[in-house]
Amino acid sequence: MALELKQLGENTWVIPGHVNIGYYEENGKGYLIDTGLDDDQGRRVLKLLSEERAAPLRAIVNTHSNADHIGANAFIQKRTNCEVWATHVEGAMTEYPSLEPVLLWAAWPFKQIRGKFIEAKPSKVTYIESEGRIMDTYLKAVPLPGHYLDMIGVTTPDDVFFLADSLFDPKILEKYRFSVMLDIASAHKTFDMIENARASWFVPCHATPTKDIHELVAQNRAGQSWITERVYQAIEGTEGISREDALSKIGMAEGLDMDAAHLLLNLVSVNAHLTYLSEQDRIEPFVKDCRLLWRVKL
Ligand SMILES: [Zn+2]
């Protein structure tokens, strides 16, 4: 499918796709907000920009370091010599993307979890703060805690709010059931913040751009609460259950299919909800027979 630029503001566009990529111009220079998965995507984005827009690309602003957002950085940076701007922790992951599978496995990773969906090619980063004006432009960074380590949204002066992976399309939530959220309490605070934000357009990376964000926020709030309660139910009525067994219970009941990488990503989600439930004092961890188990707190 050919890529296209859809104009959302006077100087702001979106390139719709598996990952919605933002494009913005200021003072005759172009800026990308995220880049997509791989070299092929990078090539297609550059072709589109050279055909439709003449402005030289100054920088890529990365919302966070997941491979589907930074995977085309290396190709684009090599071709255009543009800068890559990212917040400190996300920038470190962008410069050293082998940390991504290490984060998943908590040790040096095996090859099945080092594919391009997990581990991007490295790119050279210039670090930015997670709040306020981005460098000397009129773009602004907005912290969006929850999904990843130090993810930001980006607002433009012509009133577009790029929301990164703070919200997912309900079809994705329905199909995969789990979505990566490292910190559920923060994700809920981010939902509240977005619900009260004003913009002409809201652009989540994995949902259709919209002028009214309320329904999508409600669907995502419900989606995360659904996982919280399913994890709680998997624990309830047992003497103690491991995170793997909790995932297996839910996954089998929902008919989910997963490979090693996908299973570990789903475990990240289960882990986050275990932390969230323990923060609410509803469950507690204990070790029995050399296994870390979780039980309902009486
Ligand atoms: Zn993503």
Structure tokens at 189: 């605070």
Identify the CATH number of the domain in which residue 19 sits.
Answer: 3.60.15.10
Q: Do residues 245 and 203 share a domain?
A: no
Q: Averaged over 234-239, what is the pLDDT?
A: 96
pLDDT given for residue 115 in this prediction: 94
pLDDT digits (tens, 9 = 90+) for 199-211: 999 999 999 999 9
Residue in the block written with tokens 């962008």: 94
152 and 90 share one domain: yes
Last residue of a domain, one of 171, 204, 224: 224
pLDDT of residue 1: 72
Clarify whether residues 100 and 232 are in a common domain: no
Query: Ligand 1 is a single-atom ion; what residues have CB below 5 A from it?
Result: 66, 68, 165
Same domain, 213 and 248: no
Per-residue pLDDT, averaged over 135-151, amounts to 98
What is the percent of the chain with per-residue pLDDT over 90, rounded to a whole number? Answer: 99
Q: Are residues 186 and 271 in the same domain?
A: no
Q: Domain for residue 1, yes or no?
A: no
pLDDT, tens only, 262-272: 999 999 999 99
209 and 271 inside one domain: no
Identify whether residues 231 and 168 lie together within a single domain. no
74: left (phi over 0), alpha (psi -120 to 50) or beta: alpha
Distance 107 CA to ligand 1 centre (A): 23
| CATH classification of the domain holding 236 | 1.10.10.10
Q: Are residues 15 and 98 in the same domain?
A: yes
Nearest partner of 167 among 151, 158, 157, judged by Cα: 151
Structural domain that includes position 131: 6-224
**Could you say which of 192, 207, 224 is where a domain stops?**
224
Instruction: Tell whether the torsion through CA atoms of 282, 257, 221 and 118 is positive or negative.
Output: positive
Q: What pLDDT, in 10s, does the model give residues 154-185?
A: 999 999 999 999 999 999 999 999 999 999 99
List Cα–Cα distances, 208 to 4, 9, 15, 140, 172, in angstroms.
Answer: 14, 16, 11, 22, 12
Q: Give me the chain's average pLDDT, please.
A: 97
211, with CB counted inside 10 A (0-12, 13-18, 19+), is exposed
Tell how far the Cα of 130 is from the centroid of ligand 1, in angstroms. Answer: 18
- Mean pLDDT, range 24-47, rounded to an integer: 97
Instruction: Using pLDDT thresholds of 50, 70 and 90, give the confidence band for residue 91.
Output: very high
- Co-location of 180 and 282 in the same domain: no
Residues 181, 256, single domain; the answer is no
* Number of structural domains the chain divides into: 2
Determine the distance from the C-alpha atom of residue 298 to the mean position of all C-alpha atoms in its chain, rounded to a whole number: 35
Distance from the CA of 289 to the center of ligand 1, in angstroms?
Answer: 38
**34 alpha carbon – ligand 1 mean position (Å):** 10
232 and 177, same domain (yes or no): no
The residue written with tokens 């980006």 in the block is 154
| pLDDT band of 106, cuts 50, 70, 90 | very high
68 in a domain, yes or no? yes
Check whether 257 has a pLDDT greater than 80.
yes
Question: Which residue, 168, 202, 224, sits at the end of a domain?
Answer: 224
